[in-house]
Amino acid sequence: MTGTGLFLQYSTPIMALVPCVPLATAAAVLAAGTHTVLRDCACVAGSLLTLALVLAAGAGFMQGALPELTVCTLYPGISLRFCLDGVGLLFAATAAAMWAAAALYSIGYMRALSEHAQSRFYFFYAVSLCGGLGAACAGNLFTLYLFYELITISTYPLVAHHQDAKSYAGARTYIVYLMFASKACLLPAMAILYTQCGTLDFNLHDIAAGMLPAAAPPVLVRICYVLFVLGIAKAALMPLHGWLPAAMVAPAPVSALLHAVVVVKAGVFCICRIMLSVFGTDLLARLSLGLPTAYAALFTILAASLIAMTKTDLKARLAYSTVSQLSYIVLGVALLSPGGITGALFHMPAHAAAKITLFFCAGVIFAMTGKKDIREMGGLGRQIPWVFAAFGIAALSMIGVPPVGGFVSKWYLALGTLEIHNAVLLAGLLLSSLLNTVYFAEVVVRAFYGRAAVHAPITCAHGNSPVTALMLAALLATAALSVVLGLRPHAAIDLITTRVLP
């Protein structure tokens, strides 16, 4: 049998294993007990195996397979079902690749700061990846909802990791926002959809058609759509963004997980899935739901950027940057044009690689110098140049400057606004990039050209240690990935244009 035939034959069982490997990794963490080296090796091995399986399943999909598996049927039209399409593959590959880098980085960070409860940390980290990858492979709304909630539950202990008053307060805000939104809005929206369709299975074959019947009442469809958008609070559209800055009390690897790997990416992925596989571009255009969503996203982009400019804590600034950057994905899909959808979906890996690099850098800066305040980072670029060089590359991607990945996604987003002849959205995108430049440039300029504070000398306690080498290796790898996505975007672009767009 040829290699192509093998990929086609085994793509479904490979896809089924994708969310199982992180669970097995979590079990291995528990089994390792006090054997820390074994535990750390299990985390790295689990992440690499997951990435290999995603790429193998993706190879089968690109060769013509549509991996599908129904585990069990609970009720007619409601089942635990997995299916991998182009959008899901892009999210799964992004999450798996970022986990591989985060697994390496976490070992260095947690050891450098002698963090407590490290096994608990790694356990829930792996479980949250199971949630993200399960959502990526979900074949219907029921399965998507189960894994969406698994992400929320498994990341709560990570946000509260430090177990002090500030951590518990941030974790409480986090869980209340996300759980209230999903219970108050997402579940009712699913109920409405089921009454109209008789099933919760996605239409993964045609993003124009969606799954709603033509006879569905327009008013009910609009209500259902609004409930879905409000219910997916992980997408952090304003005013449902407050949980994200509150979660910044967590350690840097958790912040990277929240902002680049699983939580927020699951949110925007779910928004994309709902718009493209539930409602479809034709219905959204006919009911004029696309442009209002795009304008809401543009408001979030600009407002969050303005707030980011006022923050002097580095992680807080990055948090509001995330709120802003996520809405580029929502805006692009809401344009309902080929360019807009391409830019939105490409922004998932582009933003993930850049934002995880930024949080990795923030963690290394804190681990090596104890500094969080941007105003105290004068001269640090001359002390730890590789860290701030990586930060600068990731910042260029966030701004949208070639040759990094963010330029490609913003280029397609701009083309999308031109395709629908909307000058307001185009101007908003250009203004947002200018605001990105302002709040990222300050960090880099201070680091390389600012004066070191006389009263706060720089001390790089872990500057030459092996654990710092692990952190540096991870952040340099993700920074390099940003450049690769900018110089060689063809694989992701081809996936979107040939396997997602009609």
* pLDDT tens by residue, 53-65: 999 998 888 887 7
Q: Is 68 buried (19+), middle (13-18) or exposed (0-12) by CB count in 10 A?
A: middle
pLDDT above 80: residue 398: yes
- Give the tokens for residue 227: 């409930």
What span, in angstroms and rounded, lies between the C-alpha atoms of 8 and 5?
Answer: 5
Residue 9 falls inside a structural domain = no
pTM of the model as a whole: 0.94
- Report the pLDDT value the prediction gives residue 52, as an integer from 0 to 100: 94
Name which residue leads in pLDDT, 300 or 66: 300
9 — pLDDT class (breaks 50, 70, 90) = low
Could you tell me if residue 173 is inside a domain?
A: no
Lowest mean pLDDT among 175-184, 297-306, 361-370, 440-449: 361-370
Q: Is residue 388 part of a domain?
A: yes
Contacts of 114 (CB under 8 A, 6+ apart): none
Burial class (CB in 10 A: 0-12, 13-18, 19+), 15: buried
Domain for residue 366, yes or no? yes
Q: What is d(CA 250, CA 252) in angstroms, rounded to the nearest whole number?
A: 7
Average pLDDT over residues 111-125: 85
pLDDT of res. 454: 52
Tell me what pLDDT residue 367 has: 84
> Percent of the chain beyond pLDDT 70?
95
**H-helix or E-strand spanning residue 78:** strand 78-83
User: Does residue 457 surpass a pLDDT of 50?
Assistant: no
pLDDT in tens, 230-247: 999 998 898 888 888 888
Taking the C-alpha atoms of residue 65 and residue 114, their distance in angstroms, rounded to an integer, is 46
Q: Residue 78's beta-bridge partner residues?
A: 75
pLDDT class of 1 with cuts at 50, 70, 90: very low
Secondary structure class of 435 (helix, strand, coil): helix
Confidence of residue 68 (pLDDT cuts 50, 70, 90): confident
Residue 350 lies in a domain: yes
pLDDT at 3 over 70: no
- For position 332, what pLDDT does the model report? 96
Give a yes or no: residue 17 inside a domain.
Answer: no
| Mean pLDDT, rounded, for 443-462 | 68
Query: Across the chain, what does the average pLDDT equal?
Result: 89
- Residue 195 makes CB contacts below 8 A (sequence gap 6+) with none
Dihedral over alpha carbons 483, 484, 487, 493 (to 10 degrees): -120
265-287 per-position pLDDT tens digit: 899 999 999 999 999 999 999 99
Q: Which token pair is 258? A: 């929240």
Residues near 213 by beta carbon (within 8 Å), at least 6 away in sequence = 196, 197
- 245 prior amide bond cis, ω within 30: no
Residue 284 structure tokens = 């959204």
More confident residue, 394 or 106: 394
Higher pLDDT, 449 or 420: 420
Q: Is 125 inside a domain boundary?
A: no
Between CA 224 and CA 186 the distance in angstroms is 9
pLDDT digits (tens, 9 = 90+) for 188-216: 999 999 999 999 999 888 899 889 998 89
Tally of domains within the chain: 1
Domain enclosing residue 434, as ranges: 303-502
441 assigned to some structural domain: yes
